[in-house]
Amino acid sequence: MIDYHFNKEKGCPLKLFTPGPIQVPDRVLEALARPNDTHRSEAYEEMHQIAVEGLKKLLYTENECFIMTCSATGIMEACVRNLLDKDEKGLFFSIGAFGDRWYNVGLDNGKNAIKSSVEWGMALKPEFVKEILSKDKYSVVFLQSNETSTGVYNPIYEIVPIIKDYGALVCVDATSSMAGVKIEVDKLEIDVCLASVQKCLALPPGLAVCSVSEKALEKTKTVKNRGHYFDFLTYLKKNKSHQTPNTPSIPQIRGLIVQLDYILKEEGLEKRFERHERLGKRTRMWARDMALEMFSERNYESNTVSTMKNTLQIECAEMVQKLLLKGYRITNGYGPLANKTFRIGHMGEIQLKDLEEMLKVLTDIIADLRLEKLNQNK
Ligand SMILES: Cc1ncc(COP(=O)(O)O)c(C=O)c1O
C-alpha cells in the first residue's frame, strides 16, 4: 500500500504547508477510524446536532447550518441553483481563480451570471463595489473572503454591508478562511457562508459546510429548478430532525465534532484567529528578509495562505521537489501563476515553531538553487 504522507529520505511523515488539503491531526484520524451507526440512527442524530451547534458557534450565527457530503464547489453550485432565479442577475466578484470558478458555475447552470473582476493580486475595495452595484440590479452577489490563488483577503467587513444596502443576498466562499479568520455571519448578515473542511478545519477532504440565512431560505422557496442533491429545502427539512437528506460521510462528521470541540473548547476561537495572524505575519516577514515580494496587495494579505512573487527567478517546481525530500510540501503558484508565484499554506493546526522549522529548510534550499544558477551562468 502506498503511504502518501511518508517522506522516504527521512522516514518521517510529510508535513503539509499547503492551502488544502492540509495536515490532519491524530485526534481526527482516530475519530475517523471509529465504528459508526447508520445515518438514520439516534446516535447519528446526536452527532449531527453537536456538529451543527459547533458550526453555529464557529460562525457566530443563529442561522441554519448544513453539512453536505461534497467539496466546497458543491455548495457554490447549491448557492447558484437555490438562490438565483431565471429572470434575475447574479453578480460574481472575482479577484482570482476561485472567483472565476464561481462565475463559471453560474454560467454552467444557465444562470444570468455577470462577472466583475479586479487584477489578480488586488482586493475588492468599497468604492469599486459601490460603483458596480450602482449600475444594475443584482439579486445575489457572490464573493470570496480569502482568494486562495492570490493570497488576498477581501475586506468583507467593509464590503458586505454595502452589498446588503443594495438589497442583494450575499454568498461568501470562506473555503480557505473559515476557522482560521473571524467571520461573524449574523453581524454581517451573510446569507450563505460556506467552506470545505480540508482547509482551516484540518479534516480530510470530502465534506463541506455552510450557514444559510432565513432570508435565503425564504428566497429558495420561490426559485424553480433547484436540482435534487443540493436543494436547500430538503436540507432544511432534514436538519430539523438532525439528519441529512442522503447518506452523509459519517466518519468525517465525527471528525468535524472532534475538531470543533478542540477549536471551541481547547484552543479557543480568538486564540486560533490570533495564531493564524501570527503565522501570516511571520511568513511575510520571512518573504521580506528573502527579498521575495508578496503577490498580494499590501494590507490585504491573507493570514492563511501566502502567495509570493518569484522575484528570485527560482525554478518553483524544483524548489517544491527539493523541499519535499526534506519532508515538507509547499505549493507552486495556482494555474497561470505557476512559477511566477509560489504559495505557503499556514492554516489548520500549524504552530509557529512548525513554520519556523520549515522556513529554515526552505531558506537553505533557495540558497542552494541560487548558487547552482550562479555557477551555471559562469
Ligand atoms: C477559495 C476557494 N474556493 C473554492 C475552492 C474549491 O474547493 P473544493 O475543492 O473543496 O471544491 C477552493 C479550493 O482550494 C478555494 O480555495
Q: d(Cα 284, Cα 301) in Å, to the nearest integer?
A: 9
pLDDT of 271-329, one tens digit each?
Answer: 999 999 999 999 999 999 999 999 999 999 999 999 999 999 999 999 999 999 899 99
Ligand 1 lined by 102 (C-beta under 6 Å): no
Q: Tell whether 12 and 121 lie within a shared domain.
A: no
| Interval 61-87: pLDDT, tens | 999 999 999 999 999 999 999 999 999
- Do residues 155 and 228 both lie within one domain? yes
Q: Mean of the pLDDT values across residues 189-205?
A: 98
Domain containing residue 213: 26-265
Instruction: Verify whether ligand 1 is closer than 6 Å to residue 176 (CB atom).
Output: yes
Average pLDDT (193-204) is 98
For residues 28-43, give the mean pLDDT.
95
Q: What CA–CA distance (Å, rounded) separates 271 from 151?
A: 22
The neighbour count for residue 243, using CB atoms within 10 Å, is: 18
Q: Same domain for 136 and 254? A: yes
* Same domain membership, residue 255 and residue 107: yes
**What pLDDT, on the 0 to 100 scale, is given for residue 10?**
58
Name the percent of the chain lying above pLDDT 70.
Answer: 97
Look over the chain and give the mean of its residue pLDDT values, rounded to a whole number.
96
Does a structural domain hold residue 207? yes
Same domain, 260 and 282: no
Does ligand 1 lie within 6 Å of residue 173's CB atom?
A: yes
Q: How confident is the model at residue 13 (pLDDT cuts 50, 70, 90)?
A: confident
Q: Looking at residue 354, what is its pLDDT?
A: 95
Q: Are residues 212 and 339 in the same domain?
A: no
Q: Do both 204 and 304 map to the same domain?
A: no
Q: Is 145 in the pocket of ligand 1 (CB under 6 A)?
A: no
- Tell me how far the alpha carbon of residue 302 lies from the centroid of ligand 1, in angstroms: 15
CA distance 35 to 270: 33
Determine the atom of ligand 1 nearest the C-alpha atom of 147. Answer: 1
Q: Are both 158 and 257 inside the same structural domain? A: yes
pLDDT number for residue 377: 80
**Span from the CA of 185 to the centroid of ligand 1 (angstroms):** 19
Ligand 1 proximity of 71 Cβ (cutoff 6 Å): yes
Indicate whether 74 belongs to any domain. Answer: yes
Examine the fold and report which residue of 220, 239, 265 is the final residue of a domain before the chain moves on.
265
CB-ligand 1 contact for 306 (6 Å cutoff):
no
**pLDDT at residue 2 tops 70:** no
The pTM for the full model equals 0.97
Whether residue 258 sits in one domain with residue 214: yes
- Check pLDDT > 60 for residue 214: yes
> Quick one: 79 and 66 in the same domain?
yes
> Quick one: pLDDT at residue 374?
87
Q: Tell whether 1 is covered by a domain.
A: no
- DSSP result, 251-272: HHHHHHHHHHHIIIIII-HHHH
Considering its fold, how many domains does the chain have in total? 2
CATH number of residue 146's parent domain? 3.40.640.10
Residues 54 and 147 reside in one and the same domain: yes
Q: Is there a domain that residue 252 lies in?
A: yes
CA R_g for the chain: 21
Closest ligand 1 atom to the C-alpha of 19? Answer: 14
With a 6 Å cutoff on the Cβ, whether 213 touches ligand 1 is: no
CATH number at residue 292: 3.90.1150.10
pLDDT value at 105 more than 80: yes
Strands 140-144 and 169-173: what pairing?
Answer: parallel
Confidence grade of residue 4 (pLDDT, cut at 50, 70, 90): low
Q: Answer with the residue of higher pLDDT: 145 or 23.
A: 145
